[in-house]
Structure 1
Amino acid sequence: MRITQGCFSFLPDLSDSQIGAQIHYCLNQGWAVALEYTDDPHPRNTYWSMWGLPMFDLADPAGVMQELQACREANPGHYIRVNAFDSTKGWETVRMSFIVQRPPSEPGFRLVRQETGGRNLRYTLESYAVGAGTEGARYAG
C-alpha cells in the first residue's frame, strides 16, 4: 500500500532534481522550508519529528537538499517530507507539503471496528507500523 499524503503523492517518487525544483519554487514564493520525518504515517499523525529548524532565511535550494541528505542518512527507514510555510499575514500556514522519502516497505492500515453503547459501531484506522514494535524499529524485518 502506498501512503498518499500531500502534494505529488499519487505520482511516482520525485527525483532529487525534481525535489530541488519544487524547493526552488517554494523559496521563490518567500516560503520557509522545513523537513520532518516519522515512522508512523497515520493520516491524523500531523506531528512528525522536525529535522533541525525551519529554514527561514534560505535563498538557495542546495541548502535544503544538503539537510535532506543528512536527514535521509540519519533516518533511512522513515518517511520524510518537505513543508513550505507561508508567513504572509492572512495565510500563516503550510502552503505545500510533499513526501520525499518512503521506507522500503509500507505496511498500510487496517480498519478497526468497535461496538459501543446501543449496539452502535465505531470505526477507526490503525497503522500496522504502530503494532510492529517501538519507534525506530517498526520496519525492522
Structure 2
Amino acid sequence: MRITQGAYSFLPDLTDDQIRKQIAYCLDKGWAVSIEFTDDPHPRNTYWEMWGNPMFDLVDPVGVMGDLAACRAANPDHYIRLNAFDSSRGWEAVRLSFIVQRPKVEPTFRLERTEIEGRTQRYTLVTVR
C-alpha cells in the first residue's frame, strides 16, 4: 500500500524530468521551493525534517535538483517531498507539495477501534510494517 499524501500521490512515481518540470512551474510562479524528508509518514506527522533552507529567488530548477540529489544520497530509504510556498500576499502558503522519493518498503496503517464506557469508542492509527 502506498502512502497518499500531497499532489500526484495516486499516480506512478514522477521521473526526474517530470520533477524538474514541476519545479520549473513553481519557480515561474515565483514560489519558493523546499525539500523535506522523514522515515515516519504518519498522517499526523506534518512536520518533516528540512533539507537546507527554502530556496528563494531561484530561477532555474538545476539548484533544486542538485539539493534533491544530495538529499536522496544522504537519505536513501526515507520519504522525500518537495514543497512550493507562495509569499506574494505577505505570508507563506503552500501551493504545491508532492513526494519525490519513497522507501523500498512502505509502512501501512490500520485503524483500531476500542470500545470504552457505554457507547463511546476510541480510534487509534497503528503502523504495520
Bucket of the pairwise TM-score, normalised by the shorter protein: over 0.9
Query: Could you tell me the TM-score, scaled by structure 1's length?
Result: 0.86
The equivalent residue for 1:47 is 47
- In the alignment, structure 2 segments of 5+ residues that lack a partner are none
Greater alpha carbon shift after TM alignment, 119-128 vs 56-65? 119-128
The structure 1 segments of at least 4 consecutive aligned residues displaced by more than 4 Å after TM superposition are none
- Matched residue, 2:56: 56
Q: Which residue of 1 aligns with 2:17?
A: 17
Among all aligned residue pairs of Structure 1 and Structure 2, give the percentage whose two residues are the same amino acid: 70
Give the whole-Å Cα distance in 2 for the aligned partners of 1:49 and 1:116: 36
Cα distance in 1 for partners of 2:88, 2:117 equals: 47
Task: Trace 1:69-108 onto structure 2 (pairs within 5 A).
Answer: 69-89=69-89, 92-108=92-108
The one-letter amino acid of 2:86's match is D
Residue 68 of structure 2 is matched in structure 1 by: 68
Question: What do the CA deviations read for 1:28-74 (whole angstroms, capped 9, x no partner)?
Answer: 00000000000111112100000000001211100000000000000
How many residues matched? 129
Residue 37 of structure 1 is matched in structure 2 by 37
Cα separation, 2, equivalents of 1:40 and 1:94: 21
Residue in 2 that maps onto 1:121: 121
Secondary structure in 2 aligned to 1:118? coil
> Which shifted more, 117-126 or 49-58?
117-126
Distance 2:41 2:127 in 1: 7
